[in-house]
């Protein structure tokens, strides 16, 4: 960690706890800042706040005092989930008080260079692939960010001989000032989080914050197949590396039906790749580009591509059973994600879908249902999904009471050569605490098939 004096004796407000707030508070305290934490959860129900108080950090819990900023803070570190419409955040900005997220703090203290990955879809898969390839190639990576490990906690421990591979959300990127990754990746851009950002333009602006401080000494790897991404990428000062799955290109990294090309030259054969789907091929191209720029050995990349079968709950290969291949895509909590999963397979699909009813239409899936031979629906949307499936000429449709029942019924509806796919197109909260719980129970049920 860089032993900076930037925060020494400065009054810093940490707004919101959770993992990022706790890590930021502890790091700032260690760097000599006078830290005050403000969190909505009452102190008696807030073990994180209790632990911070024991460290000598000022804690204000259970409320957000209107006069909080009268304390003369010089910096605010905001939990990424807190919107900029929050009264305290708005008050801070009106006072010209800098408001950052902990990713900025991580960058300011990190001795290790950072690789940043963002986009609407594919972030976690791309981040994980980069990490695994760099690790296989002996490049000493650490993984951090929106993938589950707080970046400033990782940066505190990372050395200059390591590299931090960081998954970044639009929420995190709105709170940066100097953050400048050596390599930035933009996987794609679709409408998302508009309840937070207001418009697609503001959402895209937040995402492209990942490259705003880059120079020509840095690299931006971006989706050359998506016009909106190409248009935004023109504004970057970084050295640009597009990726494309539309065939061999002279520039960047590309792929046709048989081969991955680097700057137009054959680089890796596609027949070694274990991960299915065109969307995953895009993720693979982005990851290979990063690792090639970073000096990772090609054989190390190939070794990972031969064995990597997906991130847990994201079109994750579970097992082969009596000629059927079973995949867990519980993370698909909306139609776009399920559409991408369905389009990843050429084989007949027995689809398990349904969950929390938010009233959304399933029409976005219609064109992707052509390979679906049977549907097992569960949860609050089960009847609506069955009705939709029948309108798509899916003949075999059944209702399941829960995920275990769904697996049994899908197994009976399937035959050798089929794919059994959990890709719900709905959130899990009607029956399960999270998509992770739903996916774990699916895996458990699939492994029990005799």
The Cα 224–Cα 252 span in angstroms is 9
123 annotated ligand-binding residue: yes
Query: Under a CB-based contact definition with an 8 Å cutoff, are residues 279 and 407 in contact?
Result: no
The Cα 132–Cα 305 span in angstroms is 10
Going edge to edge, which strands form the sheet with 75-78?
Answer: 58-61, 34-39, 11-15, 75-78, 99-100
The Cα 146–Cα 234 span in angstroms is 26
Query: Under a CB-based contact definition with an 8 Å cutoff, are residues 65 and 55 in contact?
Result: no
240 annotated ligand-binding residue: no
Burial class of residue 107 (count of CB atoms within 10 Å of its CB; 0-12, 13-18, 19+)? buried
121 annotated ligand-binding residue: yes
Token digits for 99?
């408001």
Residue with tokens 């029956």: 431
| Secondary structure of the chain as H, E, C letters | CCCCCCCCCCEEEEECCHHHHHHHHHHHHHCCCEEEEEECCCHHHCHHHHHHHHCCCEEEECCCCCCHHHHCCCEEEECCCCCCCCHHHHHHHHCCCCEECHHHHHHHHCCCCEEEEECCCCHHHHHHHHHHHHHHCCCCEEEEECCCCCHHHHHHHCCCCCEEEEECCHHHHCCCCCCCCCEEEECCCCCCCHHHHCCHHHHHHHHHHHHCCCCCCCEEEEECCCHHHHHHHCCCCCEEEEEECCCCCCCCEEECCCEEEECCEEEEEHHHCCCCCHHHHHHHHHHHHHHHHCCCCHHHHHHHHHHCCCCCCCCEEEEEECCEEEEECCCCCCHHHHHHHHCCCCCCEEEEECCCCCCCCCHHHHHHHHHEEEEEECCCCHHHHHHHHHHCCCCEEEECCCHHHHHHHHHHHCCCCCEEEECCCCCCCCCCCCHHHHHHHHHHHHHCCC
Give the annotated binding-site residues. Answer: 119-125
Give the annotated binding-site residues for ATP. Answer: 119-125
């Amino acid at each position: 960690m860089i032993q900076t004096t930037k925060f020494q004796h400065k009054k810093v407000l940490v707004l919101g706890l959770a993992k990022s707030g706790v890590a930021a508070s502890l790091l700032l305290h260690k760097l000599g800042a006078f830290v005050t934490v403000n969190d909505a959860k009452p102190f008696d129900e807030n073990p994180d706040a209790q632990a911070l108080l024991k460290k000598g950090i000022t804690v204000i819990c259970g409320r957000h005092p209107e006069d909080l900023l009268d304390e003369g803070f010089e910096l605010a570190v905001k939990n990424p989930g807190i919107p900029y419409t929050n009264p305290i955040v708005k008050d801070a900005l009106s006072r010209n008080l800098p408001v950052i997220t902990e990713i900025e703090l991580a960058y300011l203290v990190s001795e290790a260079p950072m690789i940043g990955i963002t986009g609407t879809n594919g972030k976690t898969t791309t981040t994980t692939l980069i990490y695994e390839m760099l690790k296989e190639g002996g490049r000493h990576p650490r993984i951090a960010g929106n993938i589950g490990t707080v970046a400033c906690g990782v940066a505190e421990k990372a050395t200059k001989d390591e590299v931090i591979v960081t998954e970044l959300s639009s929420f995190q990127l709105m709170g940066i000032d100097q953050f400048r990754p050596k390599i930035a990746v933009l996987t794609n851009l679709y409408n998302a989080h508009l309840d937070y950002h207001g418009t697609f333009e503001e959402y895209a602006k937040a995402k492209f914050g990942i490259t705003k401080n880059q120079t020509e000494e840095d690299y931006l790897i971006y989706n050359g197949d998506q016009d909106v991404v190409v248009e935004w990428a023109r504004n970057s000062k970084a050295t640009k590396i597009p990726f494309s799955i539309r065939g061999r290109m002279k520039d960047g990294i590309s792929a046709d039906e048989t081969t991955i090309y680097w700057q137009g030259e054959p680089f890796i054969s596609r027949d070694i790749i274990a991960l299915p789907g065109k969307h995953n091929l895009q993720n693979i191209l982005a990851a290979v580009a990063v690792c090639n720029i970073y000096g990772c050995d090609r054989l190390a990349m190939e070794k990972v591509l031969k064995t990597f079968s997906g991130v847990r709950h994201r079109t994750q290969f579970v097992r082969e059973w009596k000629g059927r291949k079973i995949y867990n895509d519980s993370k698909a909590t909306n139609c776009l994600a399920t559409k991408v999963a369905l389009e990843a397979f050429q084989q007949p699909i027995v689809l398990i879908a349904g969950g929390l009813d938010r009233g959304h239409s399933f029409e976005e899936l219609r064109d992707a249902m052509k390979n679906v031979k049977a549907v097992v629906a569960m949860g609050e949307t089960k009847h609506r999904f069955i009705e939709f499936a029948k309108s798509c000429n899916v003949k075999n449709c059944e209702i399941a009471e829960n995920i275990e029942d769904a697996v049994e019924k899908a197994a009976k509806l399937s035959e050798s050569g089929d794919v059994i796919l959990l890709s719900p197109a709905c959130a899990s909260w009607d029956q399960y605490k999270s998509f992770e719980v739903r996916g774990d129970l699916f895996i458990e049920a699939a492994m029990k098939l005799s």
